[in-house]
Structure 1
Amino acid sequence: MHRTFAVCCVAALALAGWGLRAGTVKAAQDPAATPEFYTTQVQPIFKANCYRCHGGFNHRGGLNIQTRAGMLKGGHDGSVLIPGDPANSLIVRLIRHEGPAKDPMPMPPKSPKLSDNDIAIVARWVQAGAIMPPDPTH
């Protein structure tokens, strides 16, 4: 019993010597779970490939992807976003060209498929919870 106590004390002193306290060490947060990741990584992909049809005043298929609320609401085919679940998020399936056989079609239409890197960024963002800056209030 005394030996276990001594080992614990040595470990606690070592942590204190490094400026850490037992119980306060946290796993690093995934950068994809921040609004900044969306703004700097995901939004440029959407702007370059998706906003022409699903942003601004254009909401083809009833879908607006400029806001989280818009993606959660979805369009005529329902929600395109399931935070934490890229495999079942329609937006990820469509950009991977793995969507339903009939409609909606793979995205973007009449354009080359997004790069594997861009698809991975969007999927990582969805996996991390699809965090975006707060939707603007009008």
Structure 2
Amino acid sequence: MKRLLAGCFLSMAVLISWSLRSVRAQDNPGTVEFYTSKVQPVLESNCYRCHGGMNRRGGLSLQTKAGMLKGGHDGTVLVPGHPEQSLLVKLIRHEGPANDPMPMPPRKPKLSDADIALVEQWVKAGAIMPDTPTGK
């Protein structure tokens, strides 16, 4: 009976430890899990319609880091580690260049402060994301 209880306790401890590690990864902006659980849904809902899949308005795809670094007609939109230099962040804040402010997403409400903060945290932490295209 003691062995059975010890085995159950050990199994529970392992499951709890694994679960906590997974939650911590989702809360750490420097992980793929943070991107896939928090940032990617924001981009999918607000950006991929025009900048995902076969749609690349302005020559820009936001589904890969390479696409963001390459950028579109206006150059790169992502400067990992520097949200203040990233055009992506400026555009979702509605603080684009004076000559062509391009507030994003167009014809939709500005993203919530919480969603903007998630993108900023992700960029500041190095814009870690999967190597393969993400989203729908």
1:36 to 26, 30, 33: 33
1:80 to 73, 77, 80: 77
Deviation string for 1:15-62 (max 9, x for gaps)? xxxxxxxxxxxxx99710000100000000000000000001100000
Matched with 1:46 is 43
**Which segments of structure 1 move beyond 6 Å, counting only runs of 4 or more?**
none
TM-score between the two structures when normalised by the length of structure 1: 0.75
Select the structure of larger CA radius of gyration. 1
Where structure 2 has 5 or more consecutive residues not aligned to the other structure, the ranges are 1-23
Matched with 1:3 is none
Matched with 1:135 is 132
Matched with 1:98 is 95
Structure having the higher helix fraction is 2
TM-score between the two structures when normalised by the length of structure 2: 0.76
Matched with 1:126 is 123
Residue 58 of structure 2 is aligned to residue 61 of structure 1: yes
Q: What letter corresponds to residue 56 of structure 1 in structure 2?
A: G
Q: Percent identity?
A: 69
Deviation string for 1:49-103 (max 9, x for gaps)? 0000000110000000000000000000000000000001000000000011232
Q: Give the alignment's Cα RMSD to 1 decimal.
A: 1.6
